[in-house]
Amino acid sequence: MADTRVTVEDLKRILLDAAGADEGIDLSGDINDTPFDQLGYDSLALLETSSRIQREYGVELDDDAFLAARTPEALIEAVNERLAAHA
C-alpha cells in the first residue's frame, strides 16, 4: 500500500457514489480546478466523501483540513499527503 495514491478518477467515482451529481454538471471533463460549490457539492457532500475515502483507503482525515480544500486538486493533494505520511 506504500504507493497508494488517490487520483482524480478515484475522487470522481467516490463523489458520485457519496453525493451523486447535480443536473447540468459533467464530472467527466477536467474538474481539477473547479471549486466544489460550482460542482454542486456542499460541506455535507464533502463530509460524506471524506468518510468514504477514509473507509476505502484506511486513512484518517481531519475534517477541518478536508473542508479547507476548495477544489478536487487541493483535496487530492491533502489526501495523498496523509497517505504518504501513513506509508
Partner 1 sequence: MSTVVTGMAVAAPNGLGTEDFWTATLAGRTGLGRITRFVPDSYPARLAGEIKGFEPGQHLPGRMLTQTDHVTRLNLVLSDWAFADAGVKPDDHSDFDKGVVTASSAGGYEFGERELRNMWSKGGQYVSAYQSFAWFYAVNSGQLSIRHNLCGPSGVVVSDHAGGLDALAQARRQVRRGTPLMLSGAVDSSLCSWGWVAHLAGGRISTSTDPVRAYRPFDASAGGHVPGEGGAILVLEEERAARERGARIHGEFAGYGTSFDPRPGGGRPPALRRAVESALTDAGVAPAEVDVVFADAAAVADLDAVEASALRDVFGPGGVPVTAPKTMTGRLGSGTGALDVAAALLSIRDAVIPPTTNVTPDPAYGLDLVVGEPRRAPVRTALVVARGHGGFNSAVVVRAA
CA–CA gap between residue 41 and residue 64 (Å, rounded) = 16
Cβ proximity to partner 1, 2 vs 36, nearer residue: 36
Q: Does position 56 bind partner 1 by CB under 8 A?
A: no
CB of 85 to partner 1, least distance (A): 20
CB 53 within 8 A of CB 15: no
Radius of gyration of the chain, Cα coordinates, nearest whole angstrom: 12
Choose between 2 and 79: whose C-beta lies nearer to partner 1.
79
Residue 87 grid cell: 506509508
Binding site for partner 1 (CB under 8 A): 16, 18-23, 25, 40, 44-45, 47-48, 51, 54-55
